[in-house]
Structure formats: C-alpha cells, structure tokens
C-alpha cells in the first residue's frame, strides 16, 4: 500500500459508481475510540461482501482522508484513511493506520466478492 493520492482514489471511486459492487468496511478501536481507555470502551464494525450500487462517491481531506459513497437511501462512510492500493482483480483497497501502525479502518470496493 502507498499513501493516498486523492486524485487516483477519486478516479477509481468514480469508475465503480452506478455499478453493482461489493464492499468491505471494517473499523477497530483505533478508528473511533482511541481516546478511551480500552478497558472502559471498545468499538468496532465489520461488514464484508455487502452488495450495493452507489450514485457517486468522494474522497476528501488533507490526510487522513474521508471517503463517502452516496446510496439512494443513505451513505457508506469511512474516516481516517491513509493508504490505498489495487489488488489483482482491480478492486480498490483503502486503509487507515493509526500512529502505532495498526489498522484502524478499511474500505474496499470491487465488482467481485472479497
């Protein structure tokens, strides 16, 4: 993975718009709860191979970045993204790593299941 280049990521987000795609979205304590004592508070979310179609999407920020996908009835949103790559199937892989290097958030988009 390499540090996010917003224009490259935006191009890929646009390429998947209005197509049926699969997403993987995952957060860990690092994404939203890093300021809490882990013995007090723990948070995480995980969804894999959710099939959806989004109207448009956007990556914004100066780093870490935020990415949002606009659905007909709402949004899919990931915050804290720092790195990106593409796998051998052309799927977009976005990740956010905390100051300790650990994965805090992941958003992946592709036309094939993960």
The pLDDT of residue 100: 83
Mean pLDDT of 98-106: 88
* 21-61 per-position pLDDT tens digit: 999 999 986 544 444 455 556 678 899 999 999 999 999 99
Average pLDDT over residues 57-85: 96
| Closest C-alpha to 10, from 54, 78, 69, 57 | 57
Q: How far apart are CA 62 and CA 85, in angstroms?
A: 18
In what side-by-side order are the strands of the sheet with 74-81? 56-60, 65-71, 74-81
pTM score, whole prediction: 0.88
Q: Residue 98: what pLDDT?
A: 84
Domains of the chain: 2-110 (2.70.180.10)
The two structure tokens encoding residue 33:
């709860």
pLDDT value of residue 43 = 72
């Amino acid at each position: 993975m390499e540090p996010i280049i917003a224009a490259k990521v935006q191009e890929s987000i646009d390429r998947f718009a209005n197509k049926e795609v699969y997403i993987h979205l995952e957060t860990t304590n690092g994404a939203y709860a890093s300021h809490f004592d882990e013995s007090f508070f723990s948070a995480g979310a995980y969804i894999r191979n959710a099939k959806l179609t989004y109207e448009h999407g956007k990556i914004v920020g100066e780093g870490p970045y935020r990415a949002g996908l606009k659905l007909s009835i709402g949004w899919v949103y990931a915050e804290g993204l720092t790195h990106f790559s593409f796998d051998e199937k052309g799927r977009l892989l976005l990740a956010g790593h905390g100051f300790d290097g650990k994965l805090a958030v992941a958003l992946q988009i592709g036309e094939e299941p993960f």
